[in-house]
Structure 1
Amino acid sequence: MDKVKQYTVTIYTENNVGLLNRISAIFQRRHINIESINSSISEIENVSKWTIVVKLTEDQMKKIIGQIEKQVEVIKAFYHTEDEIVYQESCLFKIKSDLLFDERQIQNIIKESNSRIVTVNKAFFVIEKSGKKEEIDLLYRELSVFGIMQFTRSGRIAVTKDEMKISTLLKALQH
């Protein structure tokens, strides 16, 4: 029996209203939670790229890719394991400004975590961190001791280690 693993799904699509609902319904019908989702432009003009993170078996993953590719607006869908991609997440922390000056440890945490201060005013300062999920989770735990006013995290963004050749594939499909 297949074991459950984390996969990063990359979907190249036309940018159409309602497609996100149909794609998420494919996962929902199978009771599979989407851990992370990101949508952006891709390296190809007028083509969107979605990056979705899910935990399931490879057999389930193959079936879902087949269902995703049945959507008219989907150009191509791929799935990758963690070792086949380079990936990052990004996050922002909003923290009371007085802590920045009164708690030396916060300055050390920022420095050691390779975070950066984005803005500072009298009421609060904002820290930005990009990295792996585990790095962001660690920073969250370290800062939560001092009180986090607001926190937000992006979905995963990823590129493959191997050449995708999606541009070549699209040109072939257009002929």
Structure 2
Amino acid sequence: MEDKTFTISVYSENNVGLLNRISGIFLKRHINILSLNVSESEIENVSRFIIVVNTTEKWVQNIVGQIEKQIEVIKAFYHTDEETIYLENALFKIASNLLFDEKQIQNIIKDSQSTIVTVSRDFFVISKSGRRSEIEELYEKFKPYGIMQFVRSGRISVSKEKMEISSLLESYK
């Protein structure tokens, strides 16, 4: 079996220590977490972890099974990139003089469909949402001009197919 990128979605109660136990499951198997995002989910009082890994389907099945054994976990799913719609977000902080002195900067912003979030005397901040490759491409375009700060979020995603988490929770009511 060949390694592929998988997105694991974990629905859980929001309890202290769960993230540590989940990351330990990956650590024991020497599987690197490429991206991690935790947020509220569409269900009240339920959190959703989005974990991106590169491994085999056999290993991801094993990991999901181990995650579901955690008492606070309601349900875990895994999907391939083809089965999800996903984005990452990034912020670029760049010196303000470049916005006015380098016309190419304005073209890069326009061509990349980025948004200027704020402009101050010393710097401006650009926001870009998209696939990781789009953000990396934009990074490479800004790099020669000097990036003062850069940050990229973890992946956020939704599955193309309906996940039965809402129906599962309805059965517990």
TM-score tier (shorter): over 0.9
State the secondary structure of the residue aligned to 1:145. helix
State the secondary structure of the residue aligned to 2:90. strand
- 1:94 maps to 2:105: no
Paired with 1:144 and 1:21, the residues of 2 have a C-alpha distance of: 35
The one-letter code matched in structure 1 to 2:131 is K
Paired with 1:135 and 1:162, the residues of 2 have a C-alpha distance of: 25
1:63-103 deviations in Å (ceiling 9; x for gaps) = 00110000000000000000100000001000000000000
Shift of 1:166: 1.1
Equivalent position of 1:42 in the other structure:
41
Shift of 1:46: 0.3
State the secondary structure of the residue aligned to 2:121. coil
Shift of 1:164: 1.2
Paired with 1:123 and 1:92, the residues of 2 have a C-alpha distance of: 16
1:103-157 deviations in Å (ceiling 9; x for gaps) = 0001000000000100001100000000000000000000011000000010000
Q: Which runs of 5+ in 1 are unaligned?
A: none
Paired with 2:109 and 2:59, the residues of 1 have a C-alpha distance of: 40
**Aligned residues between the structures:** 173
Q: How does 1:52-63 map to 2 (within 5 A)?
A: 52-63=51-62
State the secondary structure of the residue aligned to 1:91. strand
State the secondary structure of the residue aligned to 2:145. coil
Q: Which runs of 5+ in 2 are unaligned?
A: none
Q: How does 1:131-170 map to 2 (within 5 A)?
A: 131-170=130-169
State the secondary structure of the residue aligned to 2:91. strand
1:29-58 deviations in Å (ceiling 9; x for gaps) = 111110000011001000000100000000
Output the TM-score relative to the length of structure 2.
Answer: 0.99
Paired with 1:165 and 1:80, the residues of 2 have a C-alpha distance of: 14
- 1:84 maps to 2:83: yes
Output the TM-score relative to the length of structure 1.
Answer: 0.98
State the secondary structure of the residue aligned to 2:49. strand
Paired with 2:31 and 2:118, the residues of 1 have a C-alpha distance of: 38
- Runs of at least 4 residues off by over 4 Å: none
**Identity between Structure 1 and Structure 2 (%):** 61
